[in-house]
Structure 1
Amino acid sequence: MPETALRSPVPPHPAATLILLRDGPDGLEVLVMERHAGLRFAPGATVFPGGRLEPADHDPPWRARWPDGEPPADLAHRVAAVRECAEECGILLAGNSLPPSSLAGLRRSLAAGEGFAAALAHAGTGPALERMAVLARWVTPEMLSRRFDTLFFLAPAPDGQEPLCDGGEAVGVLWASPRRLLAEEAAGRRRLIFATRMTLLRLADCADMAAAMACAAEVPAGPHGGLPPPILPRLVETATGPVFRIPAGCGFSPLETAAEYVRLG
Structure 2
Amino acid sequence: MNAQTPPEAKLSATILLLREGVNAPEVLMVKRHYQIDFAAGALVFPGGKAAKGDTDPGWDAYTDGDFGPIQQDARIAAIREAYEESGIVLARHRSARGPGAPLVSAEIADKLAPFRAASDRGEVQFLDLIREHDLALALDGLVHFGHWITPVMMPKRFDTHFYIAPAPDGQIAAHDGRETTDAVWLSATEALEQEKAGKATIIFPTRMNLVKLAHATSMEDANRRFASEPVVTVLPKPSKTESGEPCLLIPEEAGYGQTVELLSNVKV
Q: TM-score, normalised by structure 2?
A: 0.88
Q: Please report how far the alpha carbon of residue 126 of structure 1 lies from its aligned counterpart in structure 2 after TM superposition.
A: 2.4
Give unpaired runs (5+ residues) of structure 1: 221-227
Q: Please report how far the alpha carbon of residue 110 of structure 1 lies from its aligned counterpart in structure 2 after TM superposition.
A: 2.9
Q: Does 1:253 align with 2:257?
A: yes
Q: Deviations for 1:90-143, whole angstroms, at most 9, x for unmatched residues? A: 111122543444322211123233210111233342211111111111011111
Q: Please report how far the alpha carbon of residue 230 of structure 1 lies from its aligned counterpart in structure 2 after TM superposition.
A: 2.3
Taking structure 1 as reference, are residues 202 and 252 closer, same or farther at Cα in structure 2, changes over 3 Å only?
Answer: same
Q: Please report how far the alpha carbon of residue 219 of structure 1 lies from its aligned counterpart in structure 2 after TM superposition.
A: 4.2
Q: Tell me which amino acid in the other structure corresponds to 2:83.
A: A
Instruction: Identify which of 35, 54, 57 aligns with 1:38.
Output: 35
Q: Please report how far the alpha carbon of residue 257 of structure 1 lies from its aligned counterpart in structure 2 after TM superposition.
A: 1.9
| Aligned residue in 1 for 2:151 | 141
| Aligned residue in 1 for 2:110 | 104
Distance 1:255 1:217 in 2: 23
Distance 2:217 2:105 in 1: 31
Give unpaired runs (5+ residues) of structure 2: 94-102
Contact between 1:136 and 1:219, CA under 8 Å: does it hold in 2? no
Question: C-alpha root-mean-square deviation of aligned residues, in Å?
Answer: 1.8
| Aligned residue in 2 for 1:64 | 61
Taking structure 1 as reference, are residues 129 and 259 closer, same or farther at Cα in structure 2, changes over 3 Å only?
Answer: same
| Aligned residue in 1 for 2:96 | none
Taking structure 1 as reference, are residues 65 and 28 closer, same or farther at Cα in structure 2, changes over 3 Å only?
Answer: same
Distance 1:8 1:117 in 2: 35
Taking structure 1 as reference, are residues 259 and 67 closer, same or farther at Cα in structure 2, changes over 3 Å only?
Answer: closer
Contact between 1:37 and 1:43, CA under 8 Å: does it hold in 2? yes
| Aligned residue in 1 for 2:165 | 155
State how 1:211-222 maps to structure 2 within 5 Å.
Answer: 211-220=221-230
Large movers: runs of 4+ above 4 Å: none
Q: Tell me which amino acid in the other structure corresponds to 2:265.
A: Y
Contact between 2:62 and 2:130, CA under 8 Å: does it hold in 1? no
Distance 1:72 1:215 in 2: 23
Count of aligned residue pairs for this structure pair: 252
Q: Please report how far the alpha carbon of residue 168 of structure 1 lies from its aligned counterpart in structure 2 after TM superposition.
A: 0.3
Instruction: Identify which of 52, 55, 59 aligns with 1:55.
Output: 52
Distance 1:85 1:107 in 2: 12
| Aligned residue in 2 for 1:236 | 239
Distance 2:131 2:6 in 1: 40
| Secondary structure at 2:112 match in 1 | helix
| Secondary structure at 1:134 match in 2 | strand
| Secondary structure at 1:25 match in 2 | coil
Contact between 2:106 and 2:172, CA under 8 Å: does it hold in 1? no
Distance 2:228 2:7 in 1: 30
State how 1:107-186 maps to structure 2 within 5 Å.
Answer: 107-112=113-118, 113-186=123-196
Q: Percent identity of the aligned residues?
A: 35
Q: Tell me which amino acid in the other structure corresponds to 1:237.
A: K
Contact between 1:120 and 1:126, CA under 8 Å: does it hold in 2? yes
| Secondary structure at 1:114 match in 2 | coil
Q: Does 1:80 align with 2:80?
A: no
| Secondary structure at 2:211 match in 1 | helix
| Secondary structure at 2:124 match in 1 | coil
Q: TM-score, normalised by structure 1?
A: 0.89
| Aligned residue in 2 for 1:26 | 23
| Aligned residue in 1 for 2:88 | 91
Taking structure 1 as reference, are residues 133 and 200 closer, same or farther at Cα in structure 2, changes over 3 Å only?
Answer: same
Q: Tell me which amino acid in the other structure corresponds to 1:170.
A: T
| Stretch moving more, 88-97 or 190-199 | 88-97
Q: Deviations for 1:240-265, whole angstroms, at most 9, x for unmatched residues? A: 322211012112121112222222x2
